[in-house]
Amino acid sequence: MSSTRTIKVNGIELFVREQGEGPLVVLCHGWPELSYSWRHQIVALAEAGYRVVAPDMRGFGRSQAPADIAAYSIFDTVGDMVALVEALGEDTAVIIGHDWGAPVAWHAALFRPDMFTAVAGLSVPPPFRGRSLPLETFHAGGIENFYWQYFQTPGVAEAELERDVALTMRTMLARGFSDPQSLFVAPDKGFLGAANPALPRPAWLSEADLAEFIAAYRTSGFRGGLNWYRNIDRNWELTAPWQDAQIRQPSLFIAGSADAVVTGLIGAKRVQDMARVLPDLRRKLIIDGAGHWIQQECAAEVNAALIAFLREVAPAR
Compute the distance between CA of residue 262 and CA of residue 219 in angstroms, rounded to an integer.
31
Residue type, 83: A
Question: Number of H helices and number of E strands within the chain?
Answer: 14, 8
Sign, Cα dihedral of 248, 256, 234, 116: negative
- Ranges of beta strands (E only) in 40-107 are 51-55, 93-98
CA dist., res. 147 & res. 169, Å (int): 17
For the annotated catalytic residues, the residue numbers are 99, 292
Q: For residues 35 and 17, what is the distance between their CA atoms, to the nearest angstrom?
A: 7
CA-to-CA distance for 198 and 22, rounded, in angstroms? Answer: 44
Which one, of 276, 292, 268, 278, lies nearest residue 37 by Cα? 292
Helices 207-220 + 165-175 axis angle, to 10: 130
